[in-house]
Chain A
Amino acid sequence: DAGVTQSPTHLIKTRGQQVTLRCSPKSGHDTVSWYQQALGQGPQFIFQYYEEEERQRGNFPDRFSGHQFPNYSSELNVNALLLGDSALYLCASSGNGQTDTDTQYFGPGTRLTVL
C-alpha cells in the first residue's frame, strides 16, 4: 500500500521562474492538502483539493495555484517565484474530511530553493 508520494524531492529555481510540484495521495484517499513549511516553522496551509476543485484556501497569494486530477493526484504551481518561497512543500492526503478522527498522511515533501 503506497503512502503519499511527492516529486521532485529537491528543486532549485531562480527568482521570477515558475515551478510545478506533484503529489500522489495514499491509496483510498481522495482529498489532497498542500502546506508550506519554512525552516524552523510549522507548516502553513495553502489549499485543499477535493473532487478536482479547490475546497478551501489559506492566506496565500494567487501566485500559488493547484490542480487535482481524476485519479486524485495533485499539482501545486507557483508563479513568479520570490526568495521567500524557499521552503519545504508538503502534501497531505486524507478521506473527504467529514469525520473528526480523519487523519492526514503527509508525503516526504519537496525542498524548493529559490536563488
Chain B
Amino acid sequence: KNQVEQSPQSLIILEGKNCTLQCNYTVSPFSNLRWYKQDTGRGPVSLTIMTFSENTKSNGRYTATLDADTKQSSLHITASQLSDSASYICVVSAHPGGFKTIFGAGTRLFVKA
C-alpha cells in the first residue's frame, strides 16, 4: 500500500533554533518527492522537489534530503523564524503530476519568540 508517514506530528521550537522533520514513504515506483509549506487555511506552497537521482535540495533556510534506498526524506529548517510556523507536508509521487500522488498528514511546526 502506498503510504507517506511524517514525524513528529507537531513540534514547538524557539525562534532562532534549527529543526528537522522526517518523512518515510512506501510509494512505488518512485518518481519524485516534494516538501510543501502550508499556512493555516491556505494552499500549500512548494519548497523543494527531488527526483530519484537527487539526495539534497536547498531553498534558502530549508534543506531537504532524500535517501531513496531507505525511502526516507528529511526537511531541515535553519535559524527558524516566527513566520516558519505552519504545516509542512511531504508529498511522494509514483508518477509526475496527480497520478498516484500521496500526501503525508504533515508536521505542524510552532515557532515561539
**Is the CB–CB distance between A100 and B46 below 8 Å?**
no
Is B41 on the interface with A (CB-CB < 8 A)?
yes
Question: For residue A46, which residue of chain B has the nearest CB?
Answer: B98
Task: Judge if B96 is at the interface, Cβ distance under 8 Å.
Answer: yes
Determine the interface band of chain A, counting residues with CB < 8 A from chain B.
20 to 34
Residue contact B105 to A41, C-beta cutoff 8 Å: yes
- Contacts A45-B98, A100-B31, A102-B97 given; does A108 touch B89 at CB 8 Å: no
Contact of A44 (CB < 8 Å), options: B36, B44, B97, B103: B103
Contacting pair B104 A42 (CB below 8 A): yes
The complex places the Cα of A55 from the Cα of B99 at a distance, in Å, of 9
CB closest residue in chain B, given A105: B46
Contact B51 A42 (CB under 8 A): no
> At the interface, yes or no: A104 with Cβ under 8 Å from chain B?
yes
CB < 8 Å neighbour of A4 from B43, B95, B96, B98: B43
Given A88-B41, A101-B51, A106-B43, A43–B97 Cβ distance below 8 Å?
no
Give residues 16-60 of B contacting A (CB, 8 Å).
Answer: 31-32, 34, 36, 41-46, 49, 51-52
Q: Roughly how many angstroms separate A44 CA and B32 CA in the complex, as a whole number?
A: 17
List the 6 shortest-distance A-B pairs measured between CB atoms, nearest first.
Answer: A97-B97, A106-B43, A42-B103, A48-B98, A33-B98, A100-B51
